């Protein structure tokens, strides 16, 4: 039988002291292994975040045709023109790009005679909101309709929801009312959306 190193066949196993250099080498191997494994284990947390490009704003030109009517106020049973303030609701048809929906607005008529309002278009893929200012135009006298008025104005787009979140823009409005209660407008505006 061949004796094992460090074993005395006559007395049994004996303890062999490992030289210091061997311990140091083993520690270095362990440290090296840990150093190599750490980036793999924590690579997700240490890796720089992937940068994403901000979506490019897209400019959209739209024509909407709206037909709104002044709503009867709380406690009232009817509406008589001229109306100095109120709310209007009605249809909004904005072509293939935006679709059809509803317009709501809250308006006032200050001493200037302009109709100033904040509006919201409720469309299939989101809403668009902003303000408009309509100036009454002088026209020919129509003896059968004292309330018939034409308006020219400007509108702004100040925001939106859904597909129109962050929308901003401006436009023009051409409107007419046969009776001071029902108003039909053609709104042409250009806005950017994300």
First to last CA, the chain: 85
**Residue 175: is it exposed, middle or buried by C-beta count within 10 angstroms (0-12/13-18/19+)?**
buried
Provide the 8-state DSSP code for 24: H
The pLDDT value recorded for residue 99 is: 94
Percent of the chain clearing pLDDT 90 (strictly above): 53
| 17-69 pLDDT, tens digit each | 555 555 555 666 555 555 555 555 454 444 455 555 656 778 989 999 999 99
List the domain boundaries for the chain. Answer: 7-46, 58-193
> CB of 164 within 8 A of CB of 188?
no
> CA torsion, points 78, 79, 84, 86, in degrees to nearest 10?
70
Span 134-163, average pLDDT: 84
CATH 2.40.160 is right for the domain spanning 58-193: yes
| 109-131 pLDDT, tens digit each | 999 999 999 999 999 999 999 99
The pLDDT value recorded for residue 44 is: 46
C-alpha to C-alpha distance for 147 and 95, rounded to whole angstroms: 30
pTM over 0.95: no
C-alpha to C-alpha distance for 149 and 138, rounded to whole angstroms: 8
Nearest to 173 by CA among 60, 62, 50: 62
C-alpha to C-alpha distance for 173 and 188, rounded to whole angstroms: 6
Mean per-residue pLDDT of the chain: 81
């Amino acid at each position: 039988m061949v004796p094992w190193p460090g074993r005395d066949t006559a007395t049994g196993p004996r303890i062999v002291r490992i030289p210091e250099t061997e311990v140091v080498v083993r520690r270095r191997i362990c440290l090296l292994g840990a150093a190599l494994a750490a980036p793999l284990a924590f690579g997700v947390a240490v890796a720089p975040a992937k940068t994403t490009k901000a979506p490019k704003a897209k400019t959209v030109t739209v024509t909407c045709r709206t037909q709104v009517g002044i709503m009867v106020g709380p406690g009232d049973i009817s509406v008589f023109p001229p109306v100095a303030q109120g709310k209007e609701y009605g249809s909004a048809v904005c072509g293939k790009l935006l679709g059809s929906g509803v317009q709501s607005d809250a308006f006032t008529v200050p001493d200037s005679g302009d109709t100033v309002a904040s509006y919201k278009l409720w469309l299939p893929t989101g809403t668009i909101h902003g303000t408009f200012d309509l100036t009454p135009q002088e026209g020919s006298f129509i003896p059968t309709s004292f309330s018939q008025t034409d308006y020219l104005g400007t509108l702004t787009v100040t925001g939106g929801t859904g597909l129109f979140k962050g929308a901003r823009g401006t436009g023009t409005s051409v409107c007419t009312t046969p009776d001071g209660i029902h108003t039909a407008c053609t709104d042409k505006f250009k806005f950017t959306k994300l």
